[in-house]
Chain A
């Protein structure tokens, strides 16, 4: 069992069951979670057929249903190319302080432009993540480097998740959270 204070897959399953979002919408708790400075990461199938992983800098949710992941485009060119080519996507969000992790998947995604206000929200989420990393033992400079990105080279990957999984460590990790 996980130590007291850490999340478990059972927690995710219970929270999921208790939520009752309108059809086509994500549960409020999930929308809040993914926008909470939770180290989003994105995976795709590259155009050569190999998997590619990349760290995103933040996530915003549009209309309670569409995830918008922000990535530094300079360090993620092959990943973004795969998205353009129609790759399926998977994104995982992990909260440093309690290891709660959720993975979402979609059959495809779109490449979009950043919008006014995105940078402010990205900065807020990065600040949260940076603080949590410092709490975990990172130095402030390490934490800031971990969340750093080039604001002039920002890509947005948008998708509507069609499957959700708990990835919190423990018995039941990896289970799909179904309606």
Chain B
């Protein structure tokens, strides 16, 4: 191998230029073809997409050897890789990464439905030949990414709570990485994700829900790996899956409620990176662009670094104020009108009159606060008491509660609701109502279409 190793060739594996492949059968008869995807795995391995039961496949099974030529469209360097087949994966993170990229490539070339990933063939790279050297340096039309990530992390390090972290990561992506369209989503225990903030859209979409496995975001969360597409495929578009899920649930006549996903109408490039901590997926950082091939390996690296740092900070133990909360308070005197708050236990969805507000753990938290307020008049609460309340079914991780409180507070603000949650100190907050509240706990028979 050359001194730079395989990592230096990632630019030739972005899928901009087609690569070429040769295999031989057991008798030495060669077979050559163009290939749509050479996927960089690590410093010693690449993966090729297995799409058809064809001569290439038969040759690989017979001999286990292949040869690929790569062309870097930026530097114009050309390399030949000599490969030994290691294994074929038909599921899992690598498979899903390749499947998403293949779908994008197929869409770009008008071949949706023709290209279908049957497996990810992993190869050990046993030799690299440089056929033509780089003829030009890569001209960067973006800020140096390492420096940009450092600036993002500087901003994160100044944050005192999850609320500030969420804003800092979104602002950092826009300001330092120069990616104008970004959404931060956090995961529920069941794999669904909720947007808790965004930049670059007409509506923030706070509270918008992504189902497990839906689009690049759902796949990135499910598999715990970055998913990146340079040409958007119909297979990875948002919006259809939620409606389909509602219809499957037998709710055909009802429009599914919920917050619309705030994505671009006609995106071409998307990248979703998981926010990981201790092997868990806490959420997903998602970026998109109307440009084709906007995000490359280096952008993906930068976003993974940022998401990793966010994951580490988000799981630090929250600093609860030791002062006791729970002293009865008084709701503000200016109260206008009466609002019926409806709670549906099936999914903890909460409606203000007939308008959907929120669901899941955030919905359960709001319902608990409102009930306690109705029963005792309390308006002051602590995150500690919520953390200890087993009825909320919070997983044992700090960021789950923090993220849900942020989601709830932002959703109430965005809705212009007569209810508000205000921070009053570390680990303390206040429920504020500018209207009279009537609580209605609904039974499952009257479950809404969420």
Binding site for B on A (CB under 8 A): 1-3, 5-6, 39, 41-45, 49-55, 75-76, 78, 87-92, 94, 99, 101, 103, 105, 137-138, 142, 145-146, 148, 165, 167, 169-170, 173-174
If the complex has contacts A43-B22, A88-B30, are A170 and B80 also in contact, measured as CB distance less than 8 A?
no
Q: Is the CB of B32 within 8 A of A41?
A: yes
Chain A hits for B16, CB < 8 A: 138
Tell me, in angstroms, the Cα distance from A92 to B18 when the chains sit together. 14
Q: Is the CB of A41 within 8 A of B73?
A: no
Mask, B194-216, CB within 8 Å of A = 1, is 00000000000000000000000
Tell me, in angstroms, the Cα distance from A140 to B304 when the chains sit together. 33
Shortest Cβ distance from A52 into B: residue:
B67
Tell me, in angstroms, the Cα distance from A109 to B91 when the chains sit together. 42
Tell me, in angstroms, the Cα distance from A45 to B18 when the chains sit together. 22
Tell me, in angstroms, the Cα distance from A23 to B8 when the chains sit together. 50
Q: Is the CB of A43 within 8 A of B109?
A: no
Tell me, in angstroms, the Cα distance from A56 to B33 when the chains sit together. 13
Chain B hits for A2, CB < 8 A: 110-111, 114
Q: Is the CB of B110 within 8 A of A53?
A: no
Mask, B401-424, CB within 8 Å of A = 1, is 000000000000000000000000
If the complex has contacts A51-B65, A138-B73, A173-B52, are A43 and B135 also in contact, measured as CB distance less than 8 A?
no
Q: Is the CB of B111 within 8 A of A53?
A: no
Q: Is the CB of B33 within 8 A of A103?
A: yes
Q: Does B68 contact A (CB under 8 A)?
A: yes
Chain B hits for A55, CB < 8 A: 20, 69, 71, 78
If the complex has contacts A51-B24, A75-B78, are A5 and B110 also in contact, measured as CB distance less than 8 A?
yes
Q: Does B115 contact A (CB under 8 A)?
A: yes
Q: Is the CB of A169 within 8 A of B115?
A: yes
Q: Is the CB of B111 within 8 A of A6?
A: yes
The 3 A-B residue pairs with the shortest CB-CB distance in the complex, in nearest-first order? A3-B110, A43-B22, A53-B22
Q: Which residues B74-115 have CB closer than 8 A to chain A?
A: 76, 78, 80, 82, 109-115
If the complex has contacts A1-B113, A53-B21, are A89 and B30 also in contact, measured as CB distance less than 8 A?
yes
Tell me, in angstroms, the Cα distance from A137 to B82 when the chains sit together. 29
Smallest distance from the beta carbon of A67 to chain B beta carbons, Å?
A: 13
Tell me, in angstroms, the Cα distance from A91 to B22 when the chains sit together. 10
Q: Is the CB of B115 within 8 A of A146?
A: no
If the complex has contacts A51-B30, A52-B67, are A99 and B109 also in contact, measured as CB distance less than 8 A?
yes
Smallest distance from the beta carbon of A171 to chain B beta carbons, Å?
A: 8
If the complex has contacts A87-B30, A145-B135, are A51 and B22 also in contact, measured as CB distance less than 8 A?
yes
Chain B hits for A51, CB < 8 A: 22-24, 30, 65-67
Listed by A's residue number, 15 A-B pairs whose Cβ atoms lie within 8 Å are A2-B114, A6-B111, A39-B34, A51-B23, A51-B65, A53-B32, A54-B80, A55-B20, A99-B109, A103-B32, A105-B29, A165-B55, A170-B114, A174-B54, A174-B55
Smallest distance from the beta carbon of A168 to chain B beta carbons, Å?
A: 10
Shortest Cβ distance from B130 into A: residue:
A75
Tell me, in angstroms, the Cα distance from A1 to B113 when the chains sit together. 6
Q: Does B132 contact A (CB under 8 A)?
A: yes
Smallest distance from the beta carbon of A7 to chain B beta carbons, Å?
A: 11
Q: Is the CB of A90 within 8 A of B76?
A: no
Q: Is the CB of A90 within 8 A of B32?
A: yes
Smallest distance from the beta carbon of B121 to chain A beta carbons, Å?
A: 14
Q: Is the CB of B111 within 8 A of A90?
A: no
Smallest distance from the beta carbon of A152 to chain B beta carbons, Å?
A: 15
Q: Which residues B325-355 have CB closer than 8 A to chain A?
A: none
Tell me, in angstroms, the Cα distance from A88 to B113 when the chains sit together. 34
If the complex has contacts A50-B65, A50-B82, A174-B55, are A103 and B31 also in contact, measured as CB distance less than 8 A?
yes
Smallest distance from the beta carbon of A87 to chain B beta carbons, Å?
A: 7
